[in-house]
């Protein structure tokens, strides 16, 4: 049987800039995948989610944030606010969706869901990078460089640092009204799983689930099949799909 193909779309978040989007047609609400810092749309977790969507004949969308992959921009210069613009344009294109975010992409997904609750049917946050934005400056080395979980190093510019500090994370759980699924490895070397536990505890609604993945690291690539199975079981129980 021939696999359903994806189609590529180009969005323009600002004059002279582009965000490259890849879409699979299918049942809605679909999944929208948001990758992490220094990653690209076609990473291992994204590929697993694409095949997961194909098997269910469910719509799927993934994209490169500015500063990543085939999109324009420079990593370390692009701000959190600009990443939110990128994700918002993709959500407008995809329609009401289930946002599945990894690391910084999970943080973007949570902020976007808080701003646009009517467009987000549910959130799935994988190793969300809680605490990253307010502590970004402290994570830089003596040369102003940041190292990601993907092994990339880059200089973080002042505009990105100032913008990062402007995003309120403390009040975020109370702003989320949709079902929320979290998965976080107990051996995450970058973001302590206790931060996901605190975020989970702060969620006001009852439609929520936290899986602390035994032995899981920050990338969670080895556990992704089990995570997606748990995610969909939760989405069915909550009525999101």
Do residues 30 and 53 make contact, with C-beta atoms less than 8 angstroms apart? yes
Beta-carbon contacts of 156 under 8 Å, excluding residues fewer than 6 positions away, are: 76, 136, 140, 144, 145, 146
Q: CA 236 to CA 241: how far, in whole Å?
A: 5
pLDDT band at 4 (very low <50, low <70, confident <90, very high): confident
Phi and psi, residue 49, nearest 5°: -70, -35
Q: Is the pTM value of this prediction over 0.85?
A: yes
Q: CA 241 to CA 230: how far, in whole Å?
A: 13
How many other C-beta atoms are found inside a 10 Å radius of the C-beta of residue 222?
13
The answer to whether residue 187 scores a pLDDT higher than 70 is yes
The answer to whether residue 2 scores a pLDDT higher than 80 is no
% of the chain beyond a pLDDT of 90: 95
Residue 214 to residues 49, 93, 211, 222, Cα–Cα distance (Å): 21, 36, 9, 12
Residue 68 C-alpha from the chain's centroid: 14
What is the mean pLDDT of the segment spanning 71-100?
98
CATH topology of domain 7-238: Rossmann fold (3.40.50)
pLDDT of 8: 98
Specify burial of residue 194 (Cβ count, 10 A radius: 0-12, 13-18, 19+). middle
Q: CA 177 to CA 194: how far, in whole Å?
A: 22
Do residues 112 and 99 make contact, with C-beta atoms less than 8 angstroms apart? yes
Question: Any idea what the Cα angle at residue 185 is, between residues 179 and 186, rounded to 5°?
Answer: 120
Domain boundaries, the chain: 7-238
% of the chain beyond a pLDDT of 70: 99
pLDDT of 204: 92
The answer to whether residue 151 scores a pLDDT higher than 90 is no
């Amino acid at each position: 049987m021939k696999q359903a193909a994806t189609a590529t779309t180009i969005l323009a978040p600002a004059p002279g800039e582009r965000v490259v989007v890849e879409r699979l047609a299918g049942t809605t609400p679909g999944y929208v995948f948001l990758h992490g810092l220094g990653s690209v749309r076609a990473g291992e977790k994204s590929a697993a989610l694409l095949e997961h969507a194909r098997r269910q004949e469910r719509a799927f969308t993934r994209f490169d944030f500015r500063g990543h992959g085939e999109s324009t921009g420079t990593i370390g210069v692009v701000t959190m606010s600009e990443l939110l613009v990128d994700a918002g344009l993709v959500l407008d294109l995809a329609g009401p969706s289930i946002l599945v975010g990894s690391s910084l992409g999970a943080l973007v997904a949570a902020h976007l869901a808080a701003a646009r609750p009517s467009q987000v049917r549910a959130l799935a946050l994988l190793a969300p990078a809680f605490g990253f934005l307010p502590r970004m400056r402290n994570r830089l080395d003596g040369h102003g460089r940041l190292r990601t979980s993907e092994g990339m190093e880059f200089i973080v510019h002042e505009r990105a640092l100032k913008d990062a500090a402007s995003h309120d994370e403390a009040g975020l759980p109370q702003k989320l009204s949709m079902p929320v699924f979290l998965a976080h490895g107990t051996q995450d070397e970058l973001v302590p799983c206790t931060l996901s536990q605190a975020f989970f505890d702060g969620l006001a609604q009852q439609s929520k689930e936290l899986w602390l993945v035994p032995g899981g690291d920050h990338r969670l690539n080895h556990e992704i099949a089990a995570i997606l199975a748990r995610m969909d079981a939760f989405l069915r129980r909550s009525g999101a799909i």
